[in-house]
């Protein structure tokens, strides 16, 4: 699968819908993966590629909304387009609140579905990149020693008075040692400036504004 491949995951309990969807979307140039239930999708789905999920709301067993709840935790980079034959307003509100990309009422026009799929995949790409970026940062962050972590926390805590001396006094170590730590942190995190380090610290979750 190359990056140009547009992957659409379809979860619908109705086989005829799955077949028709696959036919038309494949004709429109998508790679379609079908699942008959939320469970089977969650079990076999592997993250790593941009794409989107066309999810039926009403299904026996796990409902579309329940699949969404699990997915948001495990795979936040997969936008969900809900499709429903019921079109319940409160349910769509709930779905959108939980971060659904779109909510379509069956039968929708395939053109409008395609439009949403395109947008969703584009968003997925962005999300993927963000995810990759944060994964990288987190990876670097994990390599910091405990002392370096202490120094970094103080570094990003207050830009106004982030002098090495203050940090040295705070940690009860020499400011030369702080200098060394600082250099190593910048190197390990591959940060070119303090501002970039602060941004990274936000991704790592240690920045407390």
Q: Nearer Cβ to another protein, position 54 or 197?
A: 54
Beta bridge partners of 139: none
Q: Which residues bind another protein (CB under 8 A)?
A: 14, 16-17, 19-21, 23-28, 58, 60-61, 83-91, 94, 105-110
CB of 76 to another protein, least distance (A): 23
Q: Nearer Cβ to another protein, position 92 or 164?
A: 92
Closest CA to 151 of 201, 112, 106: 201
Rg (CA), the chain: 23
Q: Nearer Cβ to another protein, position 18 or 182?
A: 18
CB of 15 to another protein, least distance (A): 9
Which tokens in the block code for residue 155?
Answer: 């570094």
Q: What is the dihedral of CA 85, 30, 22, 42, to 10 degrees?
A: -70
CB of 96 to another protein, least distance (A): 14
CA separation (Å) from 71 to 5, 38, 85?
22, 10, 22
Instruction: Check if the beta carbon of residue 198 is closer than 8 Å to that of residue 156.
Output: yes
CA dist., res. 49 & res. 190, Å (int): 26
Q: Nearer Cβ to another protein, position 25 or 128?
A: 25
CB of 22 to another protein, least distance (A): 8
Q: Nearer Cβ to another protein, position 16 or 43?
A: 16
CB of 185 to another protein, least distance (A): 42
């Amino acid at each position: 699968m190359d990056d140009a491949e547009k992957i659409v995951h379809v979860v619908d309990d109705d086989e005829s819908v799955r077949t028709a969807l696959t036919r038309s979307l494949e004709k429109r140039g998508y790679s379609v993966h079908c699942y008959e239930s939320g469970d089977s999708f969650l079990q076999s789905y592997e993250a790593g590629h941009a794409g989107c999920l066309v999810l039926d709301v009403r299904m026996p067993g796990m409902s579309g909304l329940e699949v969404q709840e699990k997915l948001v935790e495990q795979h936040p980079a997969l936008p969900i387009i809900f499709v429903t034959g019921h079109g319940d307003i409160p349910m769509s509100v709930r779905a959108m609140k939980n971060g659904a990309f779109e909510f379509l009422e069956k039968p929708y026009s395939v053109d409008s579905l395609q439009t949403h799929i395109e947008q969703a995949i584009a968003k997925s790409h962005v999300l993927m990149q963000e995810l990759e970026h944060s994964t990288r940062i987190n990876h670097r962050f994990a390599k910091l020693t405990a002392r370096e972590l202490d120094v970094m926390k103080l570094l990003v805590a207050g830009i106004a008075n982030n002098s090495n001396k203050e940090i040295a006094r705070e940690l009860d170590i020499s400011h030369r040692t702080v200098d060394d730590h600082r250099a190593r942190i910048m190197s390990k995190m591959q940060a070119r400036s303090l501002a970039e380090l602060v941004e990274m610290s936000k991704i790592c979750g240690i920045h407390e504004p």
